[in-house]
Amino acid sequence: MMNSNYKIFIDAGADLDKRFLESGDVEILPMGYTMGSKVFEWTGSEPDATARKIYDSQRNGELTETISLKQEDYNQKFEGIVRHGLGVLYISMSSVLSKSNYYAKETKRAMLDKYGNVPFYIVDSMSASGGVGIIIERAIYNKQRGYALEQNAEEIARLSGHVKSWFYVNDLDYLRRDGRTSASKSFVGTLLGIKPILEISSDGQLRQINKGFGKKRACEVLKDLYFSNGGSAPGTSVYITHSDDFENANLLRELVLQQNPNVNIKMQMLTPIIGAHTGPGVITIHHYNGN
């Protein structure tokens, strides 16, 4: 029997139009982060001013790190829902970039041992930030059209890995701290104003693919990547996210709209769960080209 009574979940590594959160169509599993010696929680419903404060702290030299949810957090959350007769569709951030997918699978395994078959589907988005937002929008749309849990999970699984995500990092030192580039390259790159261009590949990996000299040129590279990779399929959103650099995020938006005024662009502040590893001044663009 197909299950039509279920809830959709994502983790705090996703960026999503807040109207979906406010409507109750999807629920975010909060994640923790540290700023200096203090511990905080990010739920995804915070105002932009909260994220801006975090990125200002980074500019002032505060170190930020993320704190993963623990296995017991997943067990408690999902078991309680399934035990009350609801199904779960959990769409995680890329399993390469986060352990959230692994913990959810461990919870499902424990519930299978305890209860037998359970209506619990886990989809690895192979993405992050606004890339997950695009996938979640499709999952919500499917549910509103009457898709059963199994149908929705199958379609979302086919979509995962096909969302394109491109971004540039403003401060190479954050990549150095995260092991993405060497200290010497970081120093030289900072002096020259190099903005490394990265992608989240179809298998969820983070890869450097290009570089731009200066923010304007980097935005132009992102715009070219968007169009040279098929743009966006009709009826889908394009997410542009930024870690407190609205000026250049808006520049990228205008560059895209100049070439195609019909693109449905959603601007979001980058979740600090991602920004803890990339720093302030990051600009991203995420799209699904239909292939």
Residues 130 and 193 both lie in one domain? no
**pLDDT, tens digit, for every residue of 162-174?**
999 999 988 766 6
Residues 72 and 123 both lie in one domain? yes
**pLDDT, tens digit, for every residue of 89-106?**
999 999 998 999 999 999
Reported confidence tier of residue 175, pLDDT bands at 50, 70, 90: low
CATH number, domain of 203, equals 3.30.1180.10
Residues 279 and 186 both lie in one domain? yes
The per-residue pLDDT for 163 is 97
Distance CA 233, CA 235 (A): 6
Residues 228 and 152 both lie in one domain? no
The residue out of 124, 142, 159 marking a domain boundary is 159
Residue 230 sits in which domain range?
163-288
Lowest mean pLDDT across 21-30, 56-65, 183-192, 198-207: 183-192
**pLDDT, tens digit, for every residue of 178-190?**
554 443 344 334 4
Distance CA 35, CA 181 (A): 23
What is the CB neighbour count within 10 angstroms for residue 221? 20
- Rounded to two decimals, the pTM is 0.90
Indicate the average pLDDT of the chain. 89
